[in-house]
Amino acid sequence: MTPESSTLNTSVAGKDALVRKLTDRTAVIGIIGLGYVGLPLTLRYSDIGYKVVGFDIDDRKIARLNAGESYIERIGAETIQRARGKGFEATADFSRCSEADALIICVPTPLNKYREPDLSFVISTTEAIAPHLRKGQVVSLESTTYPGTTDEELAPRIEERGLKIGTDVFLVFSPEREDPSNPDYETKTIPKVCGGSTSACLEVGVALYSQAIQKVVPVSSTKTAEMTKLLENIHRSVNIGLANEMKIICDKMGIDVYEVIRAAATKPFGFVPYYPGPGLGGHCIPIDPFYLTWKAREYGVHPRFIELAGEVNSSMPKWVVEKLADALNERAKAVRGSRVLLLGLAYKKNVDDPRESPTFELMEILREKGALVEYSDPHIPVCPRMRKHDFDLKSVEITPENIAGFDCVLLSTNHDAFDYDLIAKHAKLIIDTRGVYTRPAPNVVRA
């Protein structure tokens, strides 16, 4: 046997043994980043019988999870306790990465203050796990990022440790597709795209996910998988941008944009409804498209569509506040000194996630103009401190007296838990950015 063929045979054996462990569920799964993405994935693997170790740098989160508590509203404490009973534990000790056969990275990928990709979390995670990697492990990156990240940023940092990708360690990118509050889909029923650095990596990646997820969609490279996720999110951003522009045109023409969208959506082919709003929110749609525009510039391409959608979407809070100012003006009131209650702090309905919520932007603009702002959100009792915003506020209870005490109610997130009839009955003025109030009323203004 030549030295090459003996290395090849060992690596095939390493790959086959790993695939076997993944398939018979004796593999240990390490999830890095126990947030909105990592925690549900942890629970899914634990549920189907894998031993799971969770890694995070947030000691409070680790302590709460180890105490069997949840910190995400839609995840019940009993599911954490069930996982704990099946051996799940959370830790900040990255030397324990060597215990895991699979390491799945779910850390944040925000933008920096210049609105450029901030890969610092992904890179620090890679550097924290690299010293503890060993032969026969698979590493999967799930964080949304630009095409090339897995092979350009993770692979060299792993190979630097003397481990060869595709023979010693198997590297894949598999984007997350969580849709919090969507009752029709959960982790296991959302098909999962997976691309590997080599064909052996892909084979291991498919083995890793096909136990936990009903349908795995293999693609030819990590770059393809990275780009797939960006296309999905850019598709939403561009179409929401179009819906927002249509809203402004319809407003000028005295047409109800929601009625138009509902009517167009009766077309059984070639039309997908997207809805306007007060601006883009969440950790994905306002951020991810700019990972691609940044990377595209390296290739001499300056994406116009994506930037334009970003421009339209990010101008919406200002447009909404203009509508609010006009409506107050008609009632002989100024924004300065008016009490404004924002309904909904979360970035979308029925969730407790305030990340990148346009409500913050609305509150900032209103506060700058001298309004006295407060908010009500049954899912977020205390306004958390955000990277860019800090409001020392508690959620206002929706009662007839409280609603009547405000000069204006600005509906920015249409949670089902709000009593919209009560609000309509007692509010002096409602600025509705979500099309909740379908019938015209003297105290309702669409924006």
Ligand X SMILES: NC(=O)c1ccc[n+]([C@@H]2O[C@H](COP(=O)([O-])OP(=O)(O)OC[C@H]3O[C@@H](n4cnc5c(N)ncnc54)[C@H](O)[C@@H]3O)[C@@H](O)[C@H]2O)c1
Q: Name the residues annotated as catalytic.
A: 284
Q: How many Cα neighbours within 13 Å face the side chain of 436?
A: 24
Helical axes 3-23 vs 199-210, angle rounded to 10°: 20
Helical axes 257-264 vs 222-253, angle rounded to 10°: 130
**Whole-number minimum distance, CB 193 to ligand X, in Å?**
12
Q: Which is nearer to ligand X, 70 or 198 (CB)?
A: 70
Sign of the C-alpha dihedral, residues 426, 429, 434, 437? positive
Amino acid at 346: A
Ramachandran bin of 264, using left for φ above 0, alpha for ψ from -120 to 50, beta for the remaining angles: alpha
CA dihedral 310, 176, 433, 419 (to 10 degrees): -170
**Whole-number minimum distance, CB 36 to ligand X, in Å?**
3
The residues near 342 (Cβ < 8 Å, ≥ 6 apart) are 359, 362, 363, 373, 374, 375, 376, 410, 412
Strands 408-411 and 339-343: parallel
Q: Which is nearer to ligand X, 121 or 437 (CB)?
A: 121
Site residues for ligand X per CB under 6 A:
32-38, 55-58, 61, 106-109, 121, 124-125, 128, 142-144, 176, 178, 180, 283-284
Q: What are 444's strand-pairing partners?
A: 430
Q: Are 313 and 346 in contact (CB under 8 A)?
A: no
Q: Exposure of 85 by Cβ count < 10 A (0-12 exposed, 13-18 middle, 19+ buried)?
A: exposed
Q: Which is nearer to ligand X, 56 or 101 (CB)?
A: 56
**Whole-number minimum distance, CB 130 to ligand X, in Å?**
12
Q: What are 194's strand-pairing partners?
A: 218
The residues near 63 (Cβ < 8 Å, ≥ 6 apart) are none
**Whole-number minimum distance, CB 278 to ligand X, in Å?**
20
**Whole-number minimum distance, CB 343 to ligand X, in Å?**
23
Strands 430-432 and 372-376: unpaired
Q: Which is nearer to ligand X, 119 or 373 (CB)?
A: 119
Q: Which is nearer to ligand X, 143 or 150 (CB)?
A: 143
**Whole-number minimum distance, CB 176 to ligand X, in Å?**
4
Q: Are 171 and 197 in contact (CB under 8 A)?
A: yes
Q: What is the C-alpha to C-alpha distance for residues 79 and 83, in angstroms, rounded to an integer?
A: 6
Q: Which is nearer to ligand X, 125 or 167 (CB)?
A: 125
Q: What is the C-alpha to C-alpha distance for residues 34 and 57, in angstroms, rounded to an integer?
A: 9
**Whole-number minimum distance, CB 21 to ligand X, in Å?**
24
Q: What is the C-alpha to C-alpha distance for residues 352 and 73, in angstroms, rounded to an integer?
A: 6
Q: Which is nearer to ligand X, 55 or 391 (CB)?
A: 55
**Whole-number minimum distance, CB 364 to ligand X, in Å?**
22
Q: Which is nearer to ligand X, 121 or 420 (CB)?
A: 121
Q: How many residues does the chain have?
A: 447
Helical spans, DSSP H, in 254-337 = 257-264, 289-298, 304-330
